Structure 1
């Protein structure tokens, strides 16, 4: 197994997820171990290590990702009043696959 939960588990189908939105190239789903009451993850279906690894030929994919993130964040904001859109880099990035978190509410107790 690599250090890429999204390719190894989610996109391979080994880990079932509750889909929120899906396009040909992007998947948004409820986090499998949420840190917030509302915790949605948005990933490209193509492996890209991180935001800073995107190359010019992937700009259309980045625009598609941003559209899914925008639509999902708008839905969360409409339902819950607010949300955060987060991406991590470097040591903060547990899985080395480009992804965003759309979260709302106070962090859950992660004991």
Structure 2
């Protein structure tokens, strides 16, 4: 089972540029970004997915959501918009719950 976050990012094997960090959560710039701003937020402890919290319970999920909110607010304040995404099932490449905080690019006139 693939878990880039435990095996690479959290272990330090793949260096990441930290955006925000708490005792339980890490937010960092995506190592292969698809957007002008592409930040990934992960719990430092393994949680399989949003639907399958494993034995972690909802407390750690709330820690993650708190960091997602703060990072999304920063992106929105800096760029005018933010998108927050998590994936499930076959859409979830790495079987470690993670959230993408994105700015997808230029906003249409009147929205910026």
Going from structure 1 to structure 2, the CA distance change for 1:48 and 1:56 (only over 3 Å counts) comes to closer
Partner of 1:109: none
Structure 1 CA distance for aligned equivalents of residues 20 and 71 of structure 2 = 8
Partner of 1:87: 86
Higher helix share: 1
Going from structure 1 to structure 2, the CA distance change for 1:8 and 1:55 (only over 3 Å counts) comes to closer
Q: Paired residues, what number?
A: 105
Going from structure 1 to structure 2, the CA distance change for 1:73 and 1:26 (only over 3 Å counts) comes to same
In the alignment, structure 2 segments of 5+ residues that lack a partner are: 106-112
Moved more, 97-106 or 31-40: 97-106
Structure 1 CA distance for aligned equivalents of residues 36 and 27 of structure 2 = 16
Answer whether contact 2:19 2:27 (CA < 8 A) is retained.
Answer: yes
Q: Please give the per-residue CA displacement for 1:13-32, whole angstroms capped at 9, x wherever unaligned.
A: 00000000000000000000
Partner of 2:68: 69
- So what's the TM-score if we normalise by structure 2? 0.89
Q: What is the CA distance between 1:105 and its match in structure 2?
A: 2.0
